[in-house]
Amino acid sequence: MIDASRSIKACAAYYGDNADAMESYLKEGEKKALELGNRGPIKFDENGNLCPEIRKAYSDNGFYIFENVINPDELEDIKEDLEKLRTNFPIGPESNIDVNGNPAFNAESKSLTLVWSKPLGDPLGGTELANGRHQIKLFEPEAKSDSPPAVPVILLGSLQFSDACLRTYAHPELLKVAEAINGEDFAPFNEALFIKEPGVGAAVSWHQDGVTHWDSEDFDEDIHGFNFMVQAYGSTAVNGVWVMPGTHKVGKIDIKKLVAESGSERLEGAVPIVCNPGDAVICNRQLLHGSFPNCGFEKRVTVNFGFHKRSSVLGVKGGGVHSEAQVFDEEIIERRSKSIGYAIEARKAKYKDEKPYQYKPFIHSQKTYVWDNQARQDLKDYNLEDLSI
Nearer to Fe ion among residue 209 and residue 385 (C-beta) = 209
In the complex, least distance from residue 304 CB atom to Fe ion, rounded to whole angstroms = 9
Question: How much helix, strand and coil, in percent to the nearest 5, is found in the chain?
Answer: 35, 15, 50
Report the residue number, 182 or 338, with the smaller CB distance to Fe ion.
182
List the single partner that 304 binds among ligand AKG, Fe ion, none, CB under 5 to 8 Å by kind: ligand AKG
Q: What residue ranges bind ligand AKG (CB under 6 A)?
A: 194, 204, 209, 227, 241, 289, 291, 302, 304
DSSP of 137-172? PPP-PPPPTTS-S-EEEEEESGGGT-HHHHHHHT-H
Of the pair 209, 222, the CB lying nearest ligand AKG is at 209
Q: Which is nearer to ligand AKG, 164 or 204 (CB)?
A: 204
Q: Nearest residue to Fe ion, using CB?
A: 209
Cβ neighbors of 372 (< 8 A, separation 6 or more) are none
**In whole angstroms, how close is the CB of 225 to ligand AKG at the nearest point?**
11
d(CA 191, CA 169) in angstroms, rounded, equals: 9
Paired sense of beta strands 241-243 and 226-231, if any: unpaired
Q: With CA atoms as reference, report the closest residue to 121 among 95, 141, 106.
A: 141
The interface partner of residue 150, options being Fe ion, ligand AKG, none and the CB cut-off 5 to 8 Å by kind, is: none
**Interface with Fe ion, residue 191, by CB under 5 A:** no
Distance CA 84, CA 81 (A): 5
For residue 222, the partner it binds in ligand AKG, Fe ion, none, with Cβ less than 5 to 8 A by kind, is none
Measured distance CA(222)–CA(135) in Å, rounded = 23
CB nearer ligand AKG, residue 195 or residue 344 = 195
**Based on CB atoms, which residue is closest to ligand AKG, 14 or 226?**
226
Residues 6+ apart with CB under 8 A from 381: 109, 110, 111, 157, 160
Question: Least CB distance from residue 61 to ligand AKG, whole Å?
Answer: 16
Q: For residues 125 and 207, give the distance between their C-alpha atoms in angstroms, rounded to a whole number.
A: 9
What are the angstrom distances between the C-alpha of 308 and each of 190, 202, 284?
A: 10, 27, 11
Nearest-approach distance from CB 317 to ligand AKG, in angstroms: 21
The item of ligand AKG, Fe ion, none sharing an interface with residue 286, based on CB under 5 to 8 Å by kind, is none
Beta strands in 278-375 (DSSP E): 280-284, 289-291, 300-308
CB 235 → Fe ion: shortest distance, Å? 14
Instruction: Provide the residue type at 312 as one letter.
Output: S
Residue 183 burial (C-beta neighbours within 10 Å; 0-12, 13-18, 19+) = middle
**Smallest gap from residue 289 Cβ to Fe ion (A):** 6
Question: Of 203-211, 249-257, 276-284, 293-301, which segment contacts Fe ion by CB under 5 A?
Answer: 203-211
| Residue 166 binding partner per list Fe ion, ligand AKG, none, with a CB distance cut-off of 5 to 8 Å that depends on partner kind | none
By C-beta, is 75 or 281 nearer to Fe ion? 281
Which residue, 90 or 201, is less far from Fe ion as judged by CB?
201
Residues 6 or more apart from 248 whose CB is under 8 A from it? 62, 208, 221, 284, 285, 286, 287
Q: How far is the CB of 241 from Fe ion (least distance, A)?
A: 8
Task: Report the residue number, 209 or 385, with the smaller CB distance to ligand AKG.
Answer: 209
Contacts with Fe ion, 206-235, as mask; x by CB under 5 A: ---x--------------------------
Residue 239 contact, options Fe ion, ligand AKG, none, Cβ 5-8 Å cut-off depending on partner type: none
Chosen from Fe ion, ligand AKG, none, partner binding at 227 (C-beta under 5 to 8 Å by type): ligand AKG
| Secondary structure E strands in the chain | 39-40, 63-66, 114-117, 151-156, 187-196, 204-207, 226-231, 241-243, 271-272, 280-284, 289-291, 300-308
For the chain, the distance separating the N- and C-terminal CA atoms, rounded to the nearest angstrom, is: 34
Binding residues for Fe ion, rule: CB under 5 A, are 209
